[in-house]
Structure 1
Amino acid sequence: MTWVAPDIERRSEPYVADERTMLQGWLDWHRDTLLWKCAGLTGEQLCAQPVAPSTLSLLGLVRHMAAVERSWFHRAAGVAYESLFYTDDNPDGDFDDGTAASAEADFATFRDECAKADALAADLSLDHTFDTTHHRTINVRWVYTHMIEEYARHNGHADLLREALDGTTGD
């Protein structure tokens, strides 16, 4: 039986909330949006690269965002981690190495990394600072803002990919 990306009901972003709730709400909405763009597609469709000359695929975006979730929230919490899909020899493994056969597991990894990110951030103040590998000091607020920006950009890519695959459009 061919695996198909499950339907998802997107959580609504908050309209009135404190800062932490607002940031978490928008991050959750964007996470859900990426999965919503993939819903109903087979592993083969998720691996398709329909917008030449780009090699982007919806599965590549899901894998990439799982890796981004892991790296930023583990760093913020000071927890060691290993890269999910790429190595020094294969820096684009998150984008390039997904297959129809790995799609179901890759989606599970994405959901798992989002849950781990939330757990790691739960006890951190938005003002908690840490040093990056680029010798910058940033805070957790920056991480949330960056993650929302990263999803917004890639969800725009997902819009184009999905439309090219089957004509589906939406917000």
Structure 2
Amino acid sequence: MATLPSTEPAQAVVRAATGDERQVLEAFLDLHRAMVVRKAQGLSEQDVRRRHVPSATTLAGLIRHLTVVERNWFGRVLAQDPSMAPPSQEDADRSFAVGDDDTVESLIAAYEQACAESRRIAARFPLDHEVPHEQIPALSLRWIYVHMIEETARHAGHADILRELTDGATGSVV
């Protein structure tokens, strides 16, 4: 899947302003997904791995983590596909770790592929479709969308700060 043009996600949010609930949820999630990707584009391999904070958080790690998150919530939880789950909680906790063979390009490609698969899975269900969850009796696709918007937007903010610390670039479109 090719990276979205720089203005498309923002235009989709504007088009959804009078759309139905699903259009709004999908547009905002795609906007934040695109923002995360844009923050890593144009940087060197060294720059996306640079640690600016005491934790292991890097731009590359954020993209890897969000790839795991997409597969978990849309694949494992919504589609009830156990093969989409991290093998263990320890692996889920290490979802920010980037391998030596990972590149900016490969991380972005894997993330965009996970997002495309999430869209395909979500399209199969109505917003009020409920699935069981290990921590609560059930949750809906609507809840998953809101959670994913929150999670992705939070990490897009982290990516924004990391990009600014890397090369001074700011804004939603770098």
TM score, norm. by length of structure 2: 0.85
Q: Secondary structure at the match of 2:139?
A: strand
Distance in 1 separating the partners of 2:123 and 2:68: 19
Q: Displacement of 1:63 after TM fit?
A: 0.6
Partner of 1:42: 44
Alignment check: 8 A CA contact 1:8 1:32 kept: no
Distance in 2 separating the partners of 1:50 and 1:63: 17
Distance in 2 separating the partners of 1:56 and 1:7: 25
Partner of 1:24: 26
Residues 1:120 and 2:117 aligned together: no
Alignment check: 8 A CA contact 1:7 1:36 kept: no
Q: Displacement of 1:17 after TM fit?
A: 0.7
Deviations along 1:106-132, one digit per CA (max 9) or x if unpaired, are 221111100110001102000000111
Partner of 1:102: 102
Distance in 2 separating the partners of 1:66 and 1:49: 20
Q: Displacement of 1:87 after TM fit?
A: 4.0
Shift in alpha-carbon separation, 1:164–1:65, aligned structure 2, 3 A: same
Partner of 2:63: 62
* Structure 1: unaligned runs, 5 residues or longer: 1-5
Distance in 2 separating the partners of 1:7 and 1:18: 22
* Structure 2: unaligned runs, 5 residues or longer: none
Partner of 1:9: 6
Residues 1:138 and 2:139 aligned together: yes
Aligned length in residues? 163
Distance in 2 separating the partners of 1:81 and 1:109: 16
Residues 1:169 and 2:170 aligned together: yes
Identity %: 36
Distance in 2 separating the partners of 1:57 and 1:98: 13
Q: Secondary structure at the match of 1:81?
A: helix
Counterpart amino acid of 1:43? Answer: E
